[in-house]
Amino acid sequence: MGSRHWFRFGLLAAFCAGIIVAAPVHSAPLAPTPIPSNINATMASILATARKNWHADAILTSVDLKWYPDENVDDTKVTMHWLEIQANSPSTGARRYFYIGGTSAGTVVDEPPDQSSSTIDHALPASVKLDLPQAIAFLRRVGLKDRLFLVRLEMVGAANTQPLAAWTIASLADPNLFPLALDAQTGKVIPWVRAYNPPPFTDKQMHDAWQQVLHPPKPGPNNAQAHLDCFMSVQEYGYCVN
């Protein structure tokens, strides 16, 4: 079965892996802000703070871009952007979230240990070569014009492979698929079979998903199939195939 077909099967795995996150709710108008840049300096500052004030063995495991309203992450005239940075303590399993920018700037949220986390020991590198604005600009440049659903810096890697730092980005048109994984050091799209494990489907789920591949729905007024084709083309070829 081709990689494009397997890629469609990522929708169930995305739910199971906790990729889908709830959108924040805001009760007051927010001031627009640019997409955060200089991620390396921000990570270094947060890591130093976490090791000094929280756990000496703290590591950073993810950097999430958040924005509101969620219609268009690129629109810096009306959209507020901020960061959610997760720190883990490998010795205790504890987790702490730091919020940079936005109405929650300076907020720190602690959560209990997550013993099932597969990334708790996968620390982000001290620096990445591809900054956040450049990661989003790359997707726009290769033809993916969809509204985005998820933008996260994290370590990815299928079983028995070396984890790689990547910007994982999901399209709002197809939020249940495996996110695109953009290598944060080289700026190249990481093939999904290198970034993720195959989804653990039952035979019936595999059959149903395969039927959708063989008999895809006709494009509707929102051109959903065109969005899907573009998203998967970027994943497989590195650019949108019209």
Mean pLDDT of the chain: 77
The mean pLDDT of 16-42, rounded to a whole number, is 65
- Report how far apart, in Å, the C-alpha atoms of 52 and of each of 22, 58, 111, 179 are: 31, 9, 18, 34
Distances in whole angstroms, Cα of residue 60 to Cα of each of 7, 20, 23, 63, 217: 28, 20, 22, 8, 41
Q: For the chain, give every domain's residue range.
A: 3-237
Instruction: Name the helix (H) or strand (E) containing 183.
Output: strand 180-183
Residue-wise pLDDT for 185-211, tens only, equals: 999 999 888 988 877 666 676 666 656
- Location of structure tokens 């900054």: 131
Mind listing the pLDDT tens digit for each residue in 92-116? 889 999 999 988 899 999 998 876 6
